[in-house]
């Protein structure tokens, strides 16, 4: 029984070598520990992607609040994001008594929302007699879309790395995620300049503005994406010896013996 097993093993090794020559150089598969670390870093990156999509798709980037009027049961507020804005009429009795302005915008009330026209007709929007600067708003929206595109490309790289068992796709994935995180933060900065332009365009109606939870999601998304990209860079580095001082001692000993 020993000889048939020996020949069977030899045949399997020969077939494996033939498949290796036919398919080119075989790449080593990922170990379970490497795969687990990559999946954990991918989960972190997916959290950043989810926060970015949530921020880009909502219109609670900034709130514009008028001041309360005496003996008035309702007051006006507005909030907008990258794509659309909403006017709201809120009940004064639902607000805190010490609050001087109308809001917050999450309170129930009469809402009237519409998309910005500068994406279709090129017209600036007018909010409480203030005029937007469409170039800044469009730039912020385009940069955010480009960041999401890079996130998709990074996710494809990690998916292929896990399915094919290769590590060289971790470096482009780290590049995509880190650049997308930077672009999310750039989009926030451009949007901040657009808000300041809007506020300074007219002063006939006193307003107070504050950034809302969509901006917080975008800030967190940028930080998480940068962290996730850094994790992929760390995982793509070659493994270092566990005890490098032993290697140095062996090298010095061999050189002294010669």
In this structure, are residues 205 and 129 in contact, taking their beta carbons and an 8 Å threshold? yes
227: in domain: yes
192: in domain: yes
132: in domain: yes
* Residue 85 β-bridge partners: 80, 114
**Number of domains present in the structure of the chain:** 1
21: in domain: no
Give the CATH number, domain containing residue 158.
Answer: 1.20.140.150
Chain position carrying tokens 């805190």: 96
9: in domain: no
Q: What share of the chain is helix, strand, coil (3-state, %, to 5)?
A: 60, 15, 25
Q: Strand, coil or helix: what is 114?
A: strand
Q: How many CB atoms lie within 10 A of CB 92?
A: 15
pLDDT reported for residue 252: 52
Mean pLDDT in residue range 68-97: 88
115: in domain: no
Band the pLDDT of 6: cuts 50, 70, 90: very low
79: in domain: no
39: in domain: yes
pLDDT tens digit sequence for 102-158: 888 888 888 899 999 888 888 999 999 899 999 999 999 999 999 999 999 999 999
Cα–Cα–Cα angle for 139, 151, 195, rounded to 5 degrees: 25
- The parent domain of residue 159 ranges over 31-67+125-237
pLDDT tens digit sequence for 10-48: 545 544 444 444 444 444 567 778 888 899 999 999 999
pTM of the model: 0.78
Q: Read off φ and ψ for residue 210, nearest 5 degrees.
A: -150, 145
């Amino acid at each position: 029984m020993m000889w048939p097993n020996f020949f069977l093993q030899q045949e399997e090794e020969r077939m494996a070598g033939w498949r290796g020559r036919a398919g080119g150089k075989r790449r080593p598969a990922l170990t379970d520990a490497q795969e687990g670390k990559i999946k954990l870093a991918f989960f972190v990156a997916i959290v950043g992607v989810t926060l970015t999509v949530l921020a880009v798709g909502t219109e609670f980037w900034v709130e514009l609040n008028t001041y309360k009027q005496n003996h008035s049961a309702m007051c006006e507020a507005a909030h907008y994001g990258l794509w659309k804005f909403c006017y709201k009429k809120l009940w004064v009795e639902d607000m805190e008594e010490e609050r001087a302005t109308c809001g917050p915008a999450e309170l129930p009330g009469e809402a009237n929302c519409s998309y910005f026209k500068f994406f279709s007709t090129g017209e600036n929007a007018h909010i409480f007699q203030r005029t937007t600067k469409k170039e800044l708003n469009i730039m912020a929206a385009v940069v955010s879309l480009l960041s999401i595109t890079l996130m998709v490309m990074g996710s494809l790289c990690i998916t292929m790395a896990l399915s094919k068992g290769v590590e060289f796709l971790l470096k482009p994935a780290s590049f995509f995620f880190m650049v997308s995180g930077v672009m999310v933060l750039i989009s926030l900065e451009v949007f901040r300049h657009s808000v300041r332009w809007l506020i300074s365009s007219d002063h006939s109606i006193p307003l107070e503005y504050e950034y809302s939870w969509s901006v917080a999601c975008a800030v967190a998304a940028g930080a998480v994406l940068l962290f996730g990209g850094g994790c992929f860079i760390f995982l793509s580095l070659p493994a270092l010896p566990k005890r490098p001082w032993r290697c140095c001692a062996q090298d010095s000993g061999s050189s002294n013996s010669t």
